[in-house]
Structure 1
Amino acid sequence: MTTTPRELFDRQRRLIEAGDVDALVGLYHEDAVLVRFDRTVRGKAALREHFTAYVAGRPRFGEVLNVAETEDLVSFQVVVEQAGEEIKAYGAIFVRGERIARQVNGLFPAAGGGAARKGAVQLDLEPYTAWAPHAVPDPRRAGREAIGPVLLEIVHAEGPVLADRAYRLYLKASGGKALTSIARAPLSGAAFRLRQAGAIDFDDGAEVLRPAGTAEVRVRELGPRTLDEVPPEEVAELMRRLRAAGATELPRAVLDTYGLVRMTAKAEEYLAYAEELSAEG
């Protein structure tokens, strides 16, 4: 029996939730292309790296909001939950034979199915460029010569970036899971050496890393980050711009801008802190 595009879409979601990267990559042709707004992923080797990093975040799919299908295409709108946040996503899967040849994925720019909530303020944000993961050595055993160049790659791609996010990106790419103190120490040491060499900058707390000589704050789309992976000063500057544009409920306005749906207790606490920072600027 022929596999339909809708069946491929349903199977893909099940395999993502199961974390079965081998079976997931098996749904694609050798020359398949996945297009996202932050990057384009080409070929099975790159797809394997992409999905390995993606399933590590344990995404869960909620309601399928809309779906349309032809003999070689399925388009969809779906709710995705990751790190306790609900995000509305959309995409299209193009099928050749019974496997995926092309796929396009994106996130709605605002809550409410892609249309702004009534009275919501919308701003144009700088796109977020994510680091493309690749195989890297275990930071607990690799020397500084191996760790430094990779960490510099991450900072140049995503900076200003929270140090914890940069270290976790490196750790996931190495096959690690938890960012323990043993794994953090050599990564933190590499960051200090990069600053000594004049390659990156960070404040005394070493919480946010950025390429040397670049702006301390860039207001960007959420991209692949969770809300608590956005530097607080970036959220604070977004709030200042939203306030100047007429927004009143700043925490809710931030979620709308990022395309996030649910105001969790964790999000509320983080946004309250950012709002305090925004009042200081």
Structure 2
Amino acid sequence: MPDMALHGTARPELHPVFVKQLDALAKHDLDALMEVYHPDAEWVRFQGVFKGREAIRARIARDWEGGLDFVGMNEYVHSDDTIMARCIMAVHGEKVVTFGSYVLRDGMIWRVTGADVGVAEERGAERTDCRPAEQPMPAFDHTVASLLASLPAAVARLGRRQQYERELGWLPGA
């Protein structure tokens, strides 16, 4: 099977596993979504490593409870056993750019890496700074004081990212 890529307005054939995942995400159907994940799946995010279907299920349920929804896809490519996508998600109505890489085994998602590179991080969804990975993560229950203290740095990061995206032609005003 040749590699399939999505750039601009072209629409390639999507990998069947990815189609199942998108359908389950659109319906907020955790049971159907978990059928797409291998029993030994691992999902690596900056918020942690989630091992097995139950940990992944709990993480996704928490994201949905926090107002996360799939909006659309900007870029996509796949081979027989690997999928990579850059998508737009909504967090309480605000659009967030995300990316993910999926390795398949036995026709299911076995390994996932992904992150958001947009608004959710700046708003303190779970992580309000960018420290080296070897330093421990703070507790997830951020206080109002810690969120307010992180706001100036978050605004600066947002401005730098928007300038970068304008220079690349991703935002209007390039």
- Shift in Å, 1:90: 0.7
Q: Give the AA of the match of 2:22.
A: R
Cα distance between partner residues in 2 of 1:77 and 1:236? 27
2:77 matched residue in structure 1: 68
Secondary structure, counterpart of 1:126 in structure 2: coil
Q: Give the AA of the match of 2:140.
A: E
1:40 matched residue in structure 2: 49
Number of positions where the alignment pairs a residue of Structure 1 with one of Structure 2: 143
User: Which has the larger share of strand?
Assistant: 2
> Structure 2 matches for 1:253-264, cutoff 5 A?
253=159, 256=162
1:77 matched residue in structure 2: 86
Q: Which has the larger radius of gyration?
A: 1
Aligned counterpart in structure 2 of residue 95 of structure 1, from 83, 88, 104: 104
Cα distance between partner residues in 1 of 2:118 and 2:85? 16
Q: Give the AA of the match of 1:157.
A: A
Alpha-carbon distance change, 68 to 85 in structure 1, aligned in 2, over 3 angstroms: same
- Structure 1 residues not aligned, in runs of 5+: 111-123, 131-155, 163-207, 209-215, 218-230, 243-249, 263-281
> Structure 2 matches for 1:112-261, cutoff 5 A?
125-126=130-131, 157-158=139-140, 161-162=142-143, 208=144, 217=146, 231-236=147-152, 238-239=154-155, 242=156, 253=159, 256=162
Alpha-carbon distance change, 53 to 127 in structure 1, aligned in 2, over 3 angstroms: farther
Cα distance between partner residues in 2 of 1:34 and 1:157? 20
Cα distance between partner residues in 2 of 1:108 and 1:100? 22
Cα distance between partner residues in 1 of 2:109 and 2:140? 29
- Structure 2 residues not aligned, in runs of 5+: 1-12, 120-128
Alpha-carbon distance change, 78 to 253 in structure 1, aligned in 2, over 3 angstroms: same
Counterpart contact for 1:5–1:71, Cα < 8 Å = no
- Shift in Å, 1:65: 1.0
Question: TM-score when scaled to structure 2?
Answer: 0.66
Cα distance between partner residues in 2 of 1:82 and 1:17? 14
Q: Give the AA of the match of 1:125.
A: C
Cα distance between partner residues in 2 of 1:88 and 1:7? 23
Which structure 1 residue ranges, 4+ long, deviate > 6 Å from structure 2?
Answer: 127-130
Q: Is 1:59 the counterpart of 2:63 in the alignment?
A: no
Cα distance between partner residues in 2 of 1:52 and 1:62? 17
Question: TM-score when scaled to structure 1?
Answer: 0.43
- Shift in Å, 1:13: 2.4
1:4-35 CA deviation, whole Å, 9 max, x = no partner?
97222232122123221111111111111111
Counterpart contact for 1:5–1:95, Cα < 8 Å = no
Cα distance between partner residues in 2 of 1:93 and 1:5? 13
Alpha-carbon distance change, 235 to 78 in structure 1, aligned in 2, over 3 angstroms: same
1:107 matched residue in structure 2: 116
**RMSD of aligned Cα (Å):** 3.4
Counterpart contact for 1:28–1:101, Cα < 8 Å = yes
| Identity in percent | 20
Q: Give the AA of the match of 2:111.
A: R
Counterpart contact for 1:5–1:72, Cα < 8 Å = no
